[in-house]
Amino acid sequence: MSVKHALSRGLELGRSLFKLGVLKPASRVAAKFRGERLWVGQPSRGVWPQTFLPARYRYYRTSVRDLAAQLQSGSFRRILGGASPRNRAFFLAFGVGLGLIEQQLDDDRRNAATCQEIQALFRKKTFQSPLKQFASGYKLEDYVIGAMLGKGCNAAVYEAAVRFTPLRESSRCSLVDLKQNGEEKNVSALRSLSSTACYPLALKMMWNIGAGSSSEAILKAMCHELVPADPRALQKEKGEVVLSGCFGRVTKRVTAHPNVIRVYRAFTANVPLLPGAEEDYPAVLPPRHSPAGMGNNRTLFLVMKKYPCTLRQYLGMCAPDHRQASMMLLQLLEAVDHLCRQGVAHRDLKSDNVLLEFESAGCPRLVLTDFGCCLAEENLGLTLPFTNEYVNKGGNTCLMAPEVATATSGPGVEIDYSRADAWAVGAVAYEIFGQTNPFYGPARLESCSYQEWQLPRLPASIPDHTRLVVRLLLRRNPEKRPSARVTANILHLGLWGGKALADLDPFNTGRMADWLLCQSAVALLKGCGPTGSFMEAELQRGFLANLDLEELRVAVNYLIYGRELLQSTIV
């Protein structure tokens, strides 16, 4: 560094000193000459406690503020001692610069404390299920079972209601009654309820082919279906059985979230002959119902809320506008973030496993369901040992993240699923915005070999922040792919940042904290009045409940430089 350059830096930082009012009080200058330290900013306790490290580590026991004060003291001594201009300017500039850094750290700590207060305020508003709680429901005969809603590769789902629910005279239904000797008979139904109000529940009957007929064996083999289960879903004695988990591992339970399915009841019972069973799934029935059946006599039943349709069915009939589509994408990211925070990876995220309901005239609510393929082991977290090729990597291979699809088994190999579900959300986003999923169909891209420039571009009419999120989610390298929380923050800022978004600066945490306080007031007011979209208010409250200053800074950085990423050939 030349003497001229050092002097210019010293003068520049000296002007900032006068702006801060540090050199104005004459008492501080007098104290300097008495050997006392000159502090830049408000004095505070050092970063390291005095008793944290031994004396031989005295350098690390000095805080940034202490180091700044010592350098400033040294610069004054060099001025009085006739040191060279270069040394005087260098020590003054470096000392004042460290003091300003410490002041910035103080501002960051205060703003981080503000964010924590906002987070604590909105976390108190826990999600409450819209369904009324019921005390019974631990036996199959407690329910009235209606028509089949759908079936997959391992279960069939029927609409249901608790037995004491009043039925309309003009309806048709199918009742399953159990005799005292345990044999089932299908009582022909003359009334059926097609509305959600009359059939508010969905009964999922798992197909049991190789688990055995004992309750313990069934619960151990199908325990992943209980990851989103309510604490009161199982009776106490059965709940203790589930804690043993699968192959000796304890299965996690996720807390309630508005975008994750909730299992209200789970129990084992004899497999009944339900409507359409002999035509739709005869091979999985027990031999007493179907001669060609290979199923066991008992299986697991799950009771959940009934939803009108899946995301795939909805998108086949409706085309949401860009704002609604962005909020639907945001809900999926919020669900994935909720699972990741609790160490759970879904591993089978697709539009068929997302349910929909309509609570208001605005955006529909999306709910992630079907946890049969999830990774939810207490001692594994979001990483899975991939020691041999027989380890199950997940469900849908078409929407399997590149780091999972390209993993090669071997000693010590582990698959990291922390960003895998977020990648699948990026692929489903094409369907939400009315495009063909690039990883489906005859000309589909392979997740294990595609290049990012091959991804189709979304229409220019879609907001920039939304297109940026989809591009970021589909990055091949998981280290360059942002988390579900960061991408959700980008959508939050794009949807509700407005004109304030242009003024946000990741390095100006004070302005960011002011904007967050305004958003908190808006979210609280939306929750009190009948006007406005309920879904928007719920998403804003969820954003503030999961607020993290550093993650928000990363999201703002992506938005600032997002235009360059969108214009580049490879994102």
Q: Give CA–CA dist 111/200, Å, rounded.
A: 45
CA atoms lying within 13 Å on the CB side of residue 546:
22
Joined together, the tokens standing for residue 139 give 């036996």
**Cα separation of 363 and 404, whole Å?**
33
Strand 184-187 relative to strand 414-416: parallel, antiparallel, unpaired? unpaired
Tell me the CB-side half-sphere exposure of residue 516, using CA atoms within 13 A. 27
CA atoms within 13 A on the CB side of 419: 16
Per DSSP, helices labelled H in 378-506 are 402-405, 420-432, 464-473, 484-496, 500-503
Query: Residue 189 pairs with which residues in a beta bridge?
Result: none
Question: Quick count: other Cβ atoms within 10 Å of Cβ 120?
Answer: 11
CA trace torsion 142, 143, 144, 149 (10° rounding): -170
User: What's the sign of the alpha-carbon dihedral 211, 213, 217, 219?
Assistant: positive
> Residue 360: which region, alpha, beta or left (left: phi > 0; alpha: psi -120 to 50)?
beta
Q: What pairs with residue 162 in β-bridges?
A: 143
Tell me, yes or no, if 370 is annotated catalytic: no
CB-CB contact of 138 with 101 (8 Å):
no
b/e sequence 212-247, b meaning 16+ C-beta within 10 Å: ebebebbbbbbbbbbbbbbeebbeeebbebbeebbe
Long-range contact pairs involving 450-455 (C-beta distance under 8 Å, separation at least 24): 450/402, 450/476, 451/476, 451/570, 452/476, 452/570, 452/571, 453/569, 453/570
In this structure, what token pair is assigned to residue 552? 């928000």
Residues 368, 335: contact at Cβ < 8 Å? yes
Q: From the candidates 348, 421, 464, 548, give the one annotated as an active-site residue.
A: 348
Q: Based on the number of CB atoms within 10 Å of its own CB, is 380 exposed (0-12), middle (13-18) or buried (19 or more)? A: middle
Question: What is the enclosing helix (H) or strand (E) of 354?
Answer: strand 354-357
| Token couple for 210 | 């190789």
Q: Which residues are catalytic?
A: 348
